């Protein structure tokens, strides 16, 4: 099995915190989509013959800016060249302001989209304005209700905590709104100040306040408590669901399953090599217009492969398997892992069950710190 990711590199406006590749120059959309169709054809042999594609994910950018005809053109091209499962998970990332009744109705009737990841981020306008989101709080609520009324059941909502405009009380209210709406999947992320973003520049110039680590830790603790009390499964550090609504596509990433990325800046992984497309729409289009791939690749070293496995597995409910470390990376790496994980077991940040290591409730607060200590360096 495998998955396919389609990067739609267009947005109406730039969110201040975003460091993903996108453009607000919408006049190039048609030629980028045409180039993506060419890339799909060129990549038809990326997977071994008859590999079953179980998930397709439209990410971005803002994929909900696509028309139903544009979505179908991409899906139809995938159907030509890949073996698609009978009932694949097909996710569309969407902004609330795009999800009108009319658009949702058309998606339901005319496309195979069966899951939404809705970028709400907050139900409070102060937070949305701080992040320079294109929608408002009312549109956020309406988009979820419209999707449910039209018959979309597999919904996920993204929320961001840690913004200086958000009190702990409002964070609880954000979570309660999603709970009241009975959304089966919730992804929650701490506001991160990435280099070369508008947010980083604004904070540096002291135009806006910076997020505070203590507030983020408090709101993450509130998140864990609320999700536990309402019986959501915490299956990845930022993701919670009512079973069986795991995000299949992202879960496969964390399990190391191969995936193909199509579009500018998209990444791919075939189990041995990691590929990344050029993050420039014009150069991407130029390369594909000559039937040439616009990507680079690297073969993962043993150390890189181990670090990536630890990073993606320890943060999940499925955990890090000692048997896999021993089988894939050898006795010395196994010894390193056991040595470095030991103090975290002693202070109850990590638990071990039958050779599978997972984070405890308190350990989830220190996920990045634990992961860094488990890594191997190239000097070792």
Cα Rg of the chain, angstroms: 21
Tell me the pLDDT tens digit for each residue of 278-308.
Answer: 999 999 999 999 999 999 999 999 999 999 9
CA-CA distance, 294 to 153, in Å (whole number)? 37
Predicted local distance difference test score (pLDDT) of residue 21? 85
C-alpha span between 191 and 162 (Å, rounded)? 6
Residue 378 has pLDDT above 60, yes or no: yes
Strand runs (DSSP E) across 122-263, as ranges?
155-161, 185-190, 233-236, 239-241, 259-262
Per-residue pLDDT at 379:
56
Q: For residue 27, what pLDDT is reported?
A: 87
Q: What is the pTM of this model?
A: 0.95
CA 245 to CA 146: how far, in whole Å? 19
Checking if the pLDDT of 236 tops 90, the result is yes
Q: Which CATH superfamily is domain 2-254 in?
A: Aldolase class I (3.20.20.70)
Checking if the pLDDT of 111 tops 90, the result is: yes
How far the first Cα of the chain sits from its last, in Å, is 35
Tokens linked to 268: 């791919």
pLDDT tens digit sequence for 163-183: 999 999 999 999 999 999 999
E-state strands within 278-329: 295-299, 320-321
259, β-bridge pairs: 3, 269
SS3 165: coil
User: CA of 60: how far to CAs of 106, 264, 342, in Å?
Assistant: 21, 10, 39
Is a pLDDT exceeding 80 seen at residue 140? yes
Q: What is the pLDDT of residue 199?
A: 86
CATH number of this structure's domain 302-374 = 1.10.10.920
CA distance 341 to 354: 15
pLDDT band at 380 (very low <50, low <70, confident <90, very high): low
Nearest CA among 170, 59, 181, 185 for reference residue 122 = 170
% pLDDT > 90, the chain: 89
Domain boundaries along the sequence of the chain:
2-254, 302-374
């Amino acid at each position: 099995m495998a998955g396919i990711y389609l990067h739609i590199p267009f947005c109406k406006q730039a969110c201040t915190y975003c460091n993903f590749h996108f453009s607000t120059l919408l006049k190039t959309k048609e030629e980028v989509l045409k180039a993506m169709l060419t890339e799909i054809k060129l990549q038809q042999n990326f997977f071994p013959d008859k590999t079953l594609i179980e998930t397709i994910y439209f990410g971005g950018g803002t994929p909900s800016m696509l028309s139903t005809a544009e979505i179908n053109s991409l899906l139809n091209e995938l159907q030509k060249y890949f073996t698609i499962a009978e009932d694949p998970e097909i996710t569309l990332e969407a902004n609330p302001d795009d999800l009108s009744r009319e658009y949702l109705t058309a998606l339901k009737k005319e496309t195979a989209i069966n899951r939404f990841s809705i970028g709400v981020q907050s139900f409070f306008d102060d937070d949305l304005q701080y992040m320079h989101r294109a929608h408002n709080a009312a549109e956020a609520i309406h988009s979820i209700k419209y999707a449910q009324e039209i018959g979309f059941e597999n919904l996920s909502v993204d929320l961001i905590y840690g913004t200086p405009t958000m009190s702990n009380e409002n964070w609880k209210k954000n979570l309660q709104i999603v709970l009241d709406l009975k959304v089966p999947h919730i992804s929650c992320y701490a506001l991160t100040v990435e280099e070369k973003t508008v947010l980083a520049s604004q904070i540096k110039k002291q135009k806006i306040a910076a997020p505070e680590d203590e507030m983020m830790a408090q709101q993450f603790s509130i998140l864990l408590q609320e999700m536990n009390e309402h019986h959501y499964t915490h299956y990845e550090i930022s993701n919670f669901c009512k079973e069986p609504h795991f995000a299949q596509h992202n879960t496969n990433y964390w399990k190391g399953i191969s995936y193909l990325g199509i579009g500018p800046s998209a990444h791919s992984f075939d189990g041995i090599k990691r590929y990344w497309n050029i993050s420039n729409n014009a150069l991407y289009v130029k390369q594909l217009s000559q039937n040439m791939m616009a990507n680079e690749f690297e073969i993962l070293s043993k150390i890189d492969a181990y670090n990536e496995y630890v990073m993606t597995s320890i943060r999940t409910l499925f955990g890090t398997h000692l048997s896999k470390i021993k089988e894939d990376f050898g006795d010395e790496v196994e010894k390193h892992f056991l040595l470095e994980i030991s103090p975290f077991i002693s202070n109850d940040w990590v638990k071990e069950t039958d050779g599978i290591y997972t984070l405890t409730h308190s350990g989830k607060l220190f996920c990045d710190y634990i992961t860094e200590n488990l890594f191997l360096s190239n000097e070792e």
